[in-house]
Amino acid sequence: MQVLVTGAAGYIGSHVVKQLLEQTQKEIIIIDNLSTGFLHTVDTLKAIDSTKRRLKFYKEDLANFESIEKIFKENNIKEIIHFAASSQVAESINKPLQYYLNNSVNTISLVNIAVKYGVEKFVFSSTAAVYGEPEQTGQLISEECLTKPINPYGSSKLFSEQVIKDAAKVNKNFKYIIYRYFNVAGADVDGKLGECHDPETHLIPLVVKTALDKRDSITIFGTDYGTKDGTCIRDYIHVCDLADVHIKALDFLENNESDIFNCGYGYGYSVKEVIDSVKKVSNYDFKVNIGVKREGDPSILVANCLKIKDKMQWKPKYNSLELICKTALKWEENFSKEKND
Ligand SMILES: NC(=O)c1ccc[n+]([C@@H]2O[C@H](COP(=O)([O-])OP(=O)(O)OC[C@H]3O[C@@H](n4cnc5c(N)ncnc54)[C@H](O)[C@@H]3O)[C@@H](O)[C@H]2O)c1
């Protein structure tokens, strides 16, 4: 029996496979088309597999339904963790159909094959973008809050959630966990894996690159929000804590019903605090520009994550902004060294 992890050549999926290798005996299948993921990440994971037998990699696109079905025929997949997706909000506004195809249509097809081949557990990467703008500024966002996405990325994920829920209603052996991630950040605490998006749009890796002189400066978009220091506040979850909840999800579904959970810490940091933290851990005072507010950037997005803590007995281990910035910095340093060697 194997667990299929789609998109594990990418940022979050690779951290999950590392933990699956280190903390379980499971055999793992990765499907990734390497559109935004990297072969070097798969090689790193293969090197972590001390048995050299537990990890199989298929370079394949989820859109190639026949090839994907062949993988199910050749293996005995009973669990799926589905990360593969396109995930840049701005790009989704310019290329909505690409997002609906890659995120929604490919998820429909994967769920369809999963049901056909008797998959019992399906863990899905959703996003806080399904909530859109909070109804009240500053309110902690719980799973019961209204889902009203404001971009095709969020809509494509919300639609996928519905597909998974509807499939589970009529297939009693098919259970799911839907995770709505807030801002995922940081890197593997052993320094083997980290974030490599191209182009990078996330704040922490951008600030870290600035601290390492890979960028001239960092821009704060808006300093007159109604927050403690006027800059936007977000809930940053360390990627290793997030990876841990995915391993937990598979155990949880043994004895519990399908469910939806927010993934965050329930506490937010401002853009200025992030910049100050990176300056502190890098010991480098880089240039910061002040720009105008961006459209569709709510002032505060913080998760209410009592549900996951309560129902899954989840205790985060890495909930410190300094640790998030430190691991992100270490990864960026190591990664550039490797590239230059
Ligand atoms: N990074 C975040 O802060 C964040 C926040 C919320 C939700 N998410 C979700 O988490 C998941 C993983 O995000 P990430 O940051 O690791 O992204 P990523 O781009 O690093 O990883 C996605 C992986 O999926 C692969 N992929 C994409 N389309 C594919 C396809 N059609 N067939 C096969 N492989 C395909 C890519 O090559 C890549 O390796 C995504 O579903 C994303 O929407 C991420």
Say what the pLDDT of residue 336 is: 61
Say what the pLDDT of residue 335 is: 76
The response to whether residue 85 sits with its C-beta less than 6 Å from ligand 1 reads: yes
pLDDT band for position 146 (50/70/90)? very high
Residue 99, token pair as written in the block: 């997002």
Average pLDDT over residues 267-293: 97
* Ligand 1 center–CA 243 separation, angstroms: 14
Amino acid at position 74, single letter = E
Q: Please provide the DSSP assignment of 3-20 as one string.
A: EEEETTTSHHHHHHHHHH
Percent of the chain with pLDDT over 70: 98
The number of the ligand 1 atom at minimal distance from the alpha carbon of 183 is 3
Give the model confidence (pLDDT) of 306-337 as tens digits: 999 999 999 999 999 999 999 999 999 987 65
Say what the pLDDT of residue 334 is: 87
84: pLDDT strictly greater than 80? yes
- pTM given for the model: 0.97
- The mean pLDDT value of the chain amounts to 96
Give the model confidence (pLDDT) of 269-281 as tens digits: 999 999 999 999 9
Give the model confidence (pLDDT) of 179-201 as tens digits: 999 999 999 999 999 999 888 99
Say what the pLDDT of residue 48 is: 97
287: pLDDT strictly greater than 70? yes
Say what the pLDDT of residue 339 is: 55
Say what the pLDDT of residue 337 is: 59
Domains along the sequence of the chain with CATH: 2-184+236-263 (3.40.50.720), 203-234+267-340 (3.90.25.10)
The response to whether residue 102 sits with its C-beta less than 6 Å from ligand 1 reads: yes
Average pLDDT over residues 75-99: 96
340: pLDDT strictly greater than 70? no
Say what the pLDDT of residue 136 is: 84
Backbone angles phi, psi at 140, to 5 degrees: -70, 135
pLDDT band for position 297 (50/70/90)? confident
Give the model confidence (pLDDT) of 29-45 as tens digits: 999 999 999 999 999 99
170: pLDDT strictly greater than 90? yes
Say what the pLDDT of residue 30 is: 98
pLDDT band for position 25 (50/70/90)? very high
Using alpha carbons only, how large is the chain's radius of gyration in Å?
A: 19
CB 161 within 8 A of CB 260: yes
- Spot the catalytic one: 153, 176, 181, 236: 153
284 is catalytic: no
The number of the ligand 1 atom at minimal distance from the alpha carbon of 41 is 39
The response to whether residue 306 sits with its C-beta less than 6 Å from ligand 1 reads: no
- In this structure, what DSSP letter does residue 294 have? P
Angle 321-340/203-211 helices, nearest 10 degrees? 60
* Ligand 1 center–CA 70 separation, angstroms: 23
Q: Which residues pair with 203 in a beta bridge?
A: none
How far, rounded to the nearest angstrom, does the alpha carbon of residue 90 sit from its chain's CA centroid? 17
Q: What b/e string do you get for 64-87 counting C-beta neighbours within 10 Å, with b at 16 or more?
A: eeeebeebbeebebbbbbbbbbbb
pLDDT band for position 135 (50/70/90)? confident
The number of the ligand 1 atom at minimal distance from the alpha carbon of 197 is 20
Say what the pLDDT of residue 281 is: 97
* Ligand 1 center–CA 25 separation, angstroms: 25
The response to whether residue 13 sits with its C-beta less than 6 Å from ligand 1 reads: yes
* Ligand 1 center–CA 227 separation, angstroms: 31
